[in-house]
Every structure is written in structure tokens, then in C-alpha cells.
Amino acid sequence: MSHVTGIMLVDAPATALNNAGKDEEVRGVDNAVAVKFIRAPDGKYPYVSAQAIRYWVRNTLSHEHGWTPSPVFRETKVAYTDAEPTKFAEDDLFGYMRAASKSTDVKKAAKRAEIAAVSTPIDSDAGEVTRISPFRVGTLVSISPVRITGDFGTMARAEGDPVPHVHQFYKAVLKAPLAMDLAATGTFFISKRVGYKNIDKNRIESARNAGATEAKVYGFDALRLPIEVRKQRVKMLVQAIGRIEGGAKQTLHLTDTAPSVLVLAVCKSGNQPFMRLFTNDGLGSTVFRTDVLEEATKVFKEEILSDIFIGWAKGFLDEERKKLEEVLKSGGGKINEKAVTVSHPREAADAFSTSLSEHAEWFE
């Protein structure tokens, strides 16, 4: 049982990628928007929520040929996907929760009947289906504390008194961990435990019709899709990570949200050995820690199953990149006997996804 593990860095030169709503600290202006940030003893750390990142990845994938996004349905204040992981790769890799409503309200019942006619119904005996997402991502947080700037503007085309508005933005390098449980991809558990009751009798039939076979995974009974289907879905998601598009305020602060640095590998466990590769120097600059990479490849030597793929865009932290290149040159392209390849983040994502497709044993 293996896990994709890695980190991504986003270069944000003047950005407001994730906002928190009205800025209560601004007086006299109704239209004032604050960015999300973490308040710490040493300052403010802007961040992008994990939910936002997952949304970016979903949207990026939705434009890819062969990817199957899941439809979304809404009942008043409740929304859910079809929760059919055999048909929809998005439900498979991003997880879901869908429960049969017990409300007796006539209007709600009519809406449920409307949805049931165009979706995969929930077996009344099961009550609900849930799935823990095999794909995981952390919060994208600034590596260093920054001074958040407020930009003041007006609606210039309106007649009469100006209509002011204020919004915050910042300059930062943002970092997030990411992971994927390869054993759980295309593997649908049949259990009463929360998160492991992935499919009911309606979905079991669909999985078997798609060629799923019985398996025992993590001690639970499961149905597992053919390995080629599973590998293709994971390959598409990994490639999308190297091409992520998204973010708020892009009309005012156009920011390339595709990773400027992307580190990927396959490990036996779900640990994150590369999380501290990039830190701040205490003065606001981002630094690459060769000692962290050397320690990680030593301590996790038996757990890192694949080569280590590092995507690093030229023009981003070039002096720090030289540290990595020098270490690799002295070690003949290896660190503690672990091969490390360096390329552009998009190329790294593509090469890593190809490596995944060549190792069916990582999906067991």
C-alpha cells in the first residue's frame, strides 16, 4: 500500500487568491474585502484554504478530455454530488457524502423526486454513502509572514460622488503539502464504518458491470476497478496538479497558480518527508534546505519507493536552485542512493504520472 507524497509552492507577487469577506477594520467604506490570513506571534501569514485548492484542481480536470466530473445536486441548503465513483472519476478521487433525506416536507419531497430521476438513487436500506477522499491537500500558507497591503479604488464610470472600495493583497511564496492514497483509488469499500461505506447495492451493481473485482483492503471488503482505469485516473489528476488554474481577484492580480516548485514521490506511508524543504530565513526570504532533503532521503530511505521528482521553474529562486544542482552534481544525480530528477513543474508532473502507470504494485 503506497502513497503519493509531495509539496507545491506558488509564487504570488501581488495576490488575493482567497478572501475572507468584509474587512471589519476598515471604517467608512462598505465595500472592503480582506484576504484570509493566519495571525501568528511573528506576523500575518496569508493562506489559501484546502477547499479552494481542491476546487482549482477539480476545475482544471473538468476541461481535460476523458475526465468524468460528477454532477452536483442541491436540495435547499443541502448539496451533494452523484456519489457514484464507478461512473465519475471525481467522486472516486475526491470523495463524497450523500444521505437519503427523511424530511416529510412536500416541496422538499418533490425536489428529491426530481433529483432521483436524473441521479443514482440511494438504497433506502443503506441510508447513506460516504467516501474519504484518496486525494489530500493541505492549506497553502505563506512561508514567511508578510505585510498585507490595502488597495483603495473607486467606481470611475459612475456619475456623482465616487463609490469607494478597498481590498487587501500581498506578496508571498505559498506552500502546501499534497498526498494520495494509491491503494484507495478505484477501491470502493463495503462497510458500515463512516467513510468506508462507499457503495450501496445500486452502486455495487454498477461497479461489477464495470469489471470491478472483490478485494480485501485495510481489513475491509471492497470492490476494485481494473488497474488500468485506476492508473489513468491518478495520472490525469497528477498531471492537473502541474497545471492548476484558479484563484480570486484574477482580473486585478493575475497570478500564475500553477506550481513554481513541485516535489513528488511515492512512499510506503502517508508521512510528509518533504514538507520542510523550503523555509524562511527569518528575514522574509524563502530558502531551500539541502540538509532537509539529505535527512529525508536517509531517514525514509526504505520507505521512498520511487525516484524523487522535483519540478522547479527557472526564474524562481534561482540562487536556491543552484544549491540543489550542486548537491546532485556531487552525488551523480542521487542523494543517499535516491535518484532525483529536476525539470519544469509541468514536466515533473507528467514524468511522475508516467512512472506511476508503470508500477501496478504501488496500487495494491
Q: How far is CA 67 from CA 204, 235, 247, in A?
A: 21, 11, 22
The pLDDT score that the predictor gives to residue 45 is: 97
- Mean pLDDT confidence for 166-177: 95
Report the distance separating Cα 85 and Cα 189, nearest Å. 11
- For 186-231, what is each residue's pLDDT tens digit? 999 998 888 899 999 999 999 999 999 999 999 999 999 999 999 9
**In terms of pLDDT, which residue wins out, 151 or 356?**
356
Q: pLDDT tier at 24 (50, 70, 90 boundaries)? A: low
What does residue 45 show for φ and ψ, rounded to 5 degrees? Answer: -115, 105
The pLDDT score that the predictor gives to residue 28 is: 52
Residues 6+ apart with CB under 8 A from 111: 75, 76
Query: Is 0.85 surpassed by the pTM of this model?
Result: yes
Instruction: Indicate if the pLDDT at residue 9 is higher than 70.
Output: yes
User: Pairing relation of β-strands 32-35 and 164-181?
Assistant: parallel
- For 317-326, what is each residue's pLDDT tens digit? 999 999 999 9
Q: Report DSSP letters for 123-135, one per residue.
A: PTTT-EEEE--SE
Instruction: Indicate if the pLDDT at residue 292 is higher than 90.
Output: yes
Q: Which residues pair with 266 in a beta bridge?
A: 4
Closest CA to 178 of 264, 80, 268, 279: 264
Domain spans of the chain? 68-134+187-224
**In terms of pLDDT, which residue wins out, 322 or 112?**
322
- Mean pLDDT confidence for 62-72: 94
Q: pLDDT tier at 29 (50, 70, 90 boundaries)? A: low
The pLDDT score that the predictor gives to residue 95 is: 97
Report the distance separating Cα 22 and Cα 9, nearest Å. 28
Among residues of the chain, what percentage have pLDDT more than 90? 78
User: Pairing relation of β-strands 308-312 and 338-343?
Assistant: parallel
The pLDDT score that the predictor gives to residue 130 is: 94
User: Pairing relation of β-strands 3-15 and 261-267?
Assistant: antiparallel
Instruction: Indicate if the pLDDT at residue 107 is higher than 80.
Output: no
Q: Name the average pLDDT for the chain.
A: 92
User: Pairing relation of β-strands 338-343 and 334-335?
Assistant: antiparallel
Side-chain half-sphere CA neighbours of 250 within 13 A: 8
Q: Using the CB atoms, write b or e for 90-114: b if 16+ within 10 Å.
A: bbbbbbbebebeeeeeeeeeebbee
Q: pLDDT tier at 152 (50, 70, 90 boundaries)? A: confident
Report the distance separating Cα 310 and Cα 326, nearest Å. 14
- For 77-99, what is each residue's pLDDT tens digit? 788 999 999 999 999 999 999 98
Hey, which bits of 301-351 come out as E strands? 308-312, 334-335, 338-343
Instruction: Indicate if the pLDDT at residue 243 is higher than 60.
Output: yes
SS (H, E, C) 148-175: CEEEEEECCCCCCCCCEEEEEEEEEEEE
Q: Using the CB atoms, write b or e for 240-271: b if 16+ within 10 Å.
A: bbbbbebbbbeeebebebbbbbbbbbbbeeee
Residue 52, Cβ density class (10 Å: 0-12 exposed, 13-18 middle, ≥19 buried): buried
